[in-house]
Amino acid sequence: MSRAVKQEFWAGVRALAPLLVGVAPFGMIYGVLALANGLTPAAALAMSSILFAGSAQFLFCQLVGVGAPATVMVAEVGLLNLRHALYSAALAPRLAHLPRRWKLLLAYLLTDEAFAAISHREAESQPSPDRHWFYLGAGLALWGGWQLSTAVGVLLGARLPADWPLDFALPLTFIAIVVPLIRSRAMLLAAGVAGSVALLAAGLPFKLGLLAAALAGMAAGWWAVDKA
């Protein structure tokens, strides 16, 4: 590896490292939650590689726990992870020149946290022909941190003190991601409608309120742009 490649890779790892402060407690609580909802330790660990999406894994466990139908589970996980298509669209032009194996690998590693680190890097520094190594460093750092913390959660299970509010790491992380995105009235409207519908529809079975809220928020944003 050349010096520039190493530099980009480790810059990616370093950019992602602070975000592990939120990932680690959430990974642990996911491990605990998975077992509590009847998943086997093997399934709980495998999900961290197969889905590799914290909020969707959390939702998946809750839906297993309430016995949701398979179609509902796939629809909700799909909608919850639809935002990754946006991240994919944002990165696509920068990855267009790479060979297919790089595209597959970086797509697999594309998460909220990695995307946040990458966006920051793109805004703060000069373009680099080795930037994909930065993506890889950030993606692998998150992947490793996530596997490790979910394994700790699965191993410790119910021995983690119940009064530690570890699950609060997820709303806090999402607040940190969403708030800077709200830079227009249309965005504010989308957030307001999604939040309101989420409260009103919280009583629906199988967490369908989440689905309704996300769709209503998107529709509101779309309406605001279309009207303008």
Partner 1 sequence: MSVWLIMVICGLLTFGLRLSFIAAEGRVTFPRWFRVLLPFVPVATLTALVIPELLLADGALWLSWRNTRLMAGIVAIIIAAATRSVLWTLVGGFATLALWSSLIG
DSSP3 helix / strand / coil % (the chain, rounded to 5): 80, 0, 20
Q: Does 4 bind partner 1 (CB under 8 A)?
A: no
Measured CA to CA, the distance from residue 11 to residue 125 in angstroms comes to: 11
Measured CA to CA, the distance from residue 53 to residue 32 in angstroms comes to: 16
Q: Does 216 bind partner 1 (CB under 8 A)?
A: yes
Nearer Cβ to partner 1 (156/215): 215
- Tell me whether residue 196 is exposed, middle or buried, using C-beta atoms within 10 angstroms of its C-beta: 0 to 12, 13 to 18, 19 or more: middle
Please pick, from the candidates 56, 118, 136, 142, the single residue that binds partner 1 as defined by CB under 8 A: 56
Show Cβ contacts of residue 174 under 8 Å, excluding neighbours closer than 6 positions.
55, 112
Nearer Cβ to partner 1 (33/39): 39
Nearer Cβ to partner 1 (3/124): 124
Q: Does 155 bind partner 1 (CB under 8 A)?
A: no
Q: What is the DSSP letter of 184?
A: S
Contacting partner 1 within 33-52 (CB under 8 A): 39, 43, 46-47, 50-52
CA-based nearest residue to 80, from 72, 90, 92, 91: 72
Tokens of 145: 């941190």
Q: Does 208 bind partner 1 (CB under 8 A)?
A: no
From first CA to last CA, the distance across the chain in angstroms is 50
Please pick, from the candidates 36, 175, 185, 205, the single residue that binds partner 1 as defined by CB under 8 A: 175
Measured CA to CA, the distance from residue 32 to residue 24 in angstroms comes to: 13
Q: Nearest approach, Cβ of 144 to partner 1 (angstroms)?
A: 18
Contacting partner 1 within 104-143 (CB under 8 A): 104, 106-108, 110, 112-113, 116
Measured CA to CA, the distance from residue 114 to residue 15 in angstroms comes to: 9
Please pick, from the candidates 74, 129, 144, 155, the single residue that binds partner 1 as defined by CB under 8 A: 74
Please pick, from the candidates 144, 172, 185, 205, the single residue that binds partner 1 as defined by CB under 8 A: 172
Please pick, from the candidates 28, 80, 141, 142, the single residue that binds partner 1 as defined by CB under 8 A: 80
Q: Nearest approach, Cβ of 3 to partner 1 (angstroms)?
A: 27
Q: Which residue has the tokens 């796939």?
A: 74
Please pick, from the candidates 12, 22, 27, 31, the single residue that binds partner 1 as defined by CB under 8 A: 22
Please pick, from the candidates 9, 30, 60, 133, the single residue that binds partner 1 as defined by CB under 8 A: 60
Number of residues forming the site for partner 1 (CB under 8 A): 88
